[in-house]
Structure 1
Amino acid sequence: MNNNQKQFLREEENNNIWLSKGNDQAFKLVDHGLAPTVLASEAEVGKAMLNELYATAEAKEGDINIALLGGRGAQELHRQLGKLALSGEKDELLSRLNVFTQDALAPMSMGNGFSFVRDFERILGDAFFKKIKSFTPMQTDTDDLESELVQYLNKLESLGGLDIFFIGHGPEENQASHLAYIKPFSGAKPPHVAGLIPISSSILEHHISKFKAGGSLVSEDDEKECRAAAYILTLGPAAIIHAKKVVQSVVDADSAPAKVQTYSKVLQTPISADPSEALKQLNANPGLWIRLNPNTKSFVLPNLEL
């Protein structure tokens, strides 16, 4: 264990490893509900997400720390940011961005086409990465995933935490769901900042299918390596709860129809006022964590059938 690691409490439950800050105060779980905004097209969702970034930039001086959403959910946002980077019209804003990834499959080479980093580079483009202040991905090609995750968390904390957590919604069995890659029954609790959890075949299939549907450039070797991944690195509930703003997008219910039921369940399930019961709900259906952030926007398409 290195010196940085000592700054975190480490909990293990059913082979799921969760990290939390030792000085965290007790959490009070307050259900703020969820009020989705239905927009007509994926382009409109991307523009709405971009407008949330503009609003944060206007309200805050200095750096802006964001967690990028991987896969289909934010591709339109990324296309628009890539165009802005090429045009030069928002260079001042881009120069303020500290960009983080929020989850990753591991171990896997950073050059794998199924890596979120490669997908970000493909859509955002070289100009974007040259103009932002910093880019910090979760490292997936190391023999010490846990220590690398601690270094990632230390940098995020040193910069003041997330101003915007761009997040999606992933379907799970029994009409449950995941956020980032906080899986059902993985033991995630409110103080957990990040975790390293065992991978499942359902996650791999969902990950591979959404990357292919989104047009990622992948090879047979990439897919073979991806299917051999054993863990998921993910930001945890504390990162969601403490983000200054959470911006959710759900745009792919056509290719992932289970989201119609799983999103509806999150929307219609109030979190219990009883703390022990609330923790049981959140453990069984991690999609509910989003209801605990008081500044959440959820942009969705009509195909969610709300």
Structure 2
Amino acid sequence: MNNDNPSFTRVEDSGNVWLAQNTAQDAELSDHGITPTVLDTEAAVGQAMLNELLETAAQKDGDINIALLGGRGAQALHRLLGELAKTSEQDELLGRLNVFTQDALAPMSMGNCFSFVRDFERILGPDFFKKIKSFTPMQTDTDDLEAGLIAYLNKLESLGGLDIFFIGHGPEENQASHLAYIKPFSGAQSDHVAGVIPISSSILEHHISKFKAGGSAVNEQDEAECRSAEYILTLGPAAILQAKKVVQSVVDVDTAPAKVQTYANVLNTRLSSDKDEALQQLNANPGLWIRLHPNTKSFVLPNLGL
């Protein structure tokens, strides 16, 4: 695709395509560390995430822009929001929400049961989507994935960026990790707001297994289409760093035990004060990007072993 959009520059790195913000300032790579909050149950994590949303709603007027987390990480939050949407208790809050997805497998039909959109609909429920102000998923069934991603980013930028980036923590080989789907050695930089990443069989297996573990109703036809996906659409480091608040949850160590060590590596790895060395660390282990955000909450369960 020829990117003639003035807001973004297309950058390709070893088959990974990144969209860089032309207006982005050179980011300060200041390591703020990470302080996990250990809660007893997944339900408690969901309530803590909801409390962060309620706090943001109380602190600002007007719209609230959030990126939903897929998979197990935020299902407890989504159940709470779904229940609230069945009542009138938080209609004012729901009516202020502009909701975005943060990653997706592509190409794949939007109706595929392994799509995050279908999982969101299943757990959040129809009342939630009727009451929120807008819902903007990443388009996965278009012939031009980059053009669809730019349209998505233009809407997010026009609304003022993310107030809350609900984010997870994904295990990778060599005890590394990903955020959203920023993969190790994909060349992500601090001004890259989103990307199109070649997919690996290990990611497909992880994606399918977590959907099955999360209770999604699946079928063989959709699973076959999902396994034929070639790319991951993902928000990038700039979207994380520019969000006003980052709220992380790690609740699925029982089905993804590698997270015990990969989360510990993010927790205990101090980023170098040398910028070039820090960028090498971030490229090798993108889970470390969360350490650069000054307003981060990380909610975890006791089985993470902290």
The residue type paired with residue 254 of structure 2 is D
The aligned residue for residue 167 of structure 1 is 167
How much does 1:4 deviate? 6.3
The residue type paired with residue 93 of structure 1 is L
Q: Is the 8 A contact 1:4 1:150 kept in 2?
A: no
- For the residues of structure 2 that align with 1:228 and 1:135, how far apart are their CA atoms? 26
- For the residues of structure 2 that align with 1:88 and 1:102, how far apart are their CA atoms? 28
- Secondary structure of 1:117's match? helix
Q: Is the 8 A contact 1:192 1:238 kept in 2?
A: yes
- For the residues of structure 2 that align with 1:257 and 1:161, how far apart are their CA atoms? 33
How much does 1:88 deviate? 1.5
Q: Is the 8 A contact 2:194 2:235 kept in 1?
A: yes
- For the residues of structure 2 that align with 1:24 and 1:120, how far apart are their CA atoms? 31
- Secondary structure of 1:76's match? helix
The residue type paired with residue 101 of structure 1 is T
- Secondary structure of 1:6's match? coil
Structure 1 residues not aligned, in runs of 5+ = none
The residue type paired with residue 164 of structure 2 is I
The aligned residue for residue 76 of structure 2 is 76
The aligned residue for residue 254 of structure 1 is 254
Mapped pair 1:93 → 2:88? no
- For the residues of structure 2 that align with 1:104 and 1:235, how far apart are their CA atoms? 10
Query: What is the CA deviation profile of residues 228-247 of structure 1, one whole-angstrom value per residue up to 9, with x for unaligned ones?
Result: 00000000000011100000
How much does 1:5 deviate? 2.6
- For the residues of structure 1 that align with 2:183 and 2:253, how far apart are their CA atoms? 19
The aligned residue for residue 11 of structure 1 is 11
The aligned residue for residue 45 of structure 1 is 45
Structure 2 residues not aligned, in runs of 5+ = none
- For the residues of structure 2 that align with 1:3 and 1:159, how far apart are their CA atoms? 22
How much does 1:218 deviate? 1.2
How much does 1:3 deviate? 7.6
- Secondary structure of 1:298's match? strand
Matches within 5 A, 1:125-274: 125-274=125-274
- For the residues of structure 2 that align with 1:257 and 1:2, how far apart are their CA atoms? 42
Give the TM-score taking structure 1 as reference length: 0.99
- For the residues of structure 1 that align with 2:70 and 2:218, how far apart are their CA atoms? 15
Mapped pair 1:54 → 2:54? yes
Q: Is the 8 A contact 2:3 2:9 kept in 1?
A: no
Percent identity, please.
77
How much does 1:2 deviate? 7.4
- Secondary structure of 1:194's match? strand
- For the residues of structure 2 that align with 1:5 and 1:76, how far apart are their CA atoms? 38
The aligned residue for residue 27 of structure 2 is 27
The residue type paired with residue 5 of structure 1 is N
Between 222-231 and 5-14, report the one with greater CA deviation. Answer: 5-14
Q: Is the 8 A contact 1:108 1:140 kept in 2?
A: yes
Q: Is the 8 A contact 2:3 2:10 kept in 1?
A: no
The aligned residue for residue 305 of structure 1 is 305
- For the residues of structure 2 that align with 1:216 and 1:149, how far apart are their CA atoms? 26
Q: Is the 8 A contact 2:181 2:234 kept in 1?
A: yes
Give the TM-score taking structure 2 as reference length: 0.99
- For the residues of structure 2 that align with 1:2 and 1:186, how far apart are their CA atoms? 21
The residue type paired with residue 245 of structure 1 is K
How much does 1:17 deviate? 0.2
Q: Is the 8 A contact 1:178 1:287 kept in 2?
A: yes
- For the residues of structure 2 that align with 1:133 and 1:216, how far apart are their CA atoms? 26
- For the residues of structure 2 that align with 1:24 and 1:122, how far apart are their CA atoms? 37
